[in-house]
Amino acid sequence: MNEMKHMYQNEQSQNYKMNEMKHMYQNEQSQNYKELEPIDERLSQMESEIIFLRQQFHDFNNKADDTEGLPVYTQEQWDTIKLSQDEDENSSHKLQNRHMELMNRNCHLKEKSDKYKKNSERKVVVRQLPQELADNLTEQPMSEASLEHSSSNHLEVEYEAQGLKKKLDQINCKVDNLNIKLEATASKYSHLDEQFELALESLQYTCEKVQNNQKKLEEDVANLKIYVQDNKIKNGQGEPHRWEIEQRTREILEENQKQASPFSETFDRASNENNKVSLMKLMQFRIEKLESQVSEIKNEISDKTPRISMRLQEVSSRFPVKTQRVKSREEQI
């Protein structure tokens, strides 16, 4: 406290001396200006007087031819004027020297004032250094405590970052597994779609074949009826021909059943294909569920790392295309 008080008193004394020097410099400068003003006025008066005397001398020379006694008077007057002019010039030189002396003194005072200002500023800086040093010494324990706190926070952040990294690795593993499952489901659905198309083509072919056999059977029955009627008319032998007709009809029915059995098998296969369609619907539901899980995982980690968010966006941008393709195929079915 005593040192601070002493430093404060020194600062006040320095400021007082500085103000005193400023006032002294201003007073000296105003005094120099006051001394220079009459000198300038005197110089201007002397210059005007010299001009007037020269003009008068010129007039006297012009009137010299008029009188004889005038040249003597003019010569005396000229000597007086010349003497006065010499005195004026001497005084003018003295005034100019005085003016130069005052200007030099003014410059000297200005240099002295600038030097004093620099010394005063240097003293102020030197005086502030111990205070800054004391402030730094007082702030050092605080900075050390802050450094320890920041180091502990840094360790906590590192631990948290490691935990987040592990969690992100787990999420990446889940996303990769979901990716594999979605790709497997999409490939399986594509294979089932191909099988279903083949089954539809086979069913269509079987239906066409059954229709052709049906038409052929109808033609055979019509021909058989005509043949029976003709035999009844020609031979009158109804009973033997009835047995032949029944035998022929039985053979045709057996053949028709043989031809219709592939149709029933195809129908069974079609029913199985319907089951496959229902299975496809279940698979579609599973795909949508997996996509919802992907969306939930995306929402969970979108606030933690942009890298995982971008990865999930890539996954979600890849598989909705397959899902849309699956939906379009289901609509075609």
- pLDDT score, position 129: 64
- pLDDT score, position 233: 57
- pLDDT score, position 168: 84
Cα 199 to chain centroid, rounded: 57
- pLDDT score, position 279: 55
Give the C-alpha separation, 64 to 86, whole Å.
24
pLDDT more than 90, % of the chain = 0
- pLDDT score, position 162: 82
pLDDT higher than 80, residue 177: yes
Report residue 174's pLDDT band, with 50, 70 and 90 as the boundaries: confident
- Taking each helix axis from N to C end, the angle separating 70-235 and 238-301, rounded to the nearest 10 degrees, works out to 160
Residue bearing tokens 């001396």? 17
- pLDDT score, position 2: 62
Mean pLDDT value of segment 298-311: 53
Residue bearing tokens 């045709």? 252
Mean pLDDT value of segment 178-199: 81
Give 280 or 47, the one with higher predicted confidence: 47
Q: What angle do CA 117, 118, 124 make, to 5 degrees?
A: 90
Q: List, in order of start, the domains of the chain with CATH numbers.
A: 2-154 (1.10.287)
196 neighbors 330 (Cβ within 8 angstroms): no
Q: How many CA atoms lie within 13 A of 146 on its CB side?
A: 5
Q: Report the mean per-residue pLDDT for the chain.
A: 66
87: its two tokens: 């005195």
- The backbone region for 67, taken as left when phi is positive above 0, alpha when psi lies in -120 to 50, beta otherwise, is beta
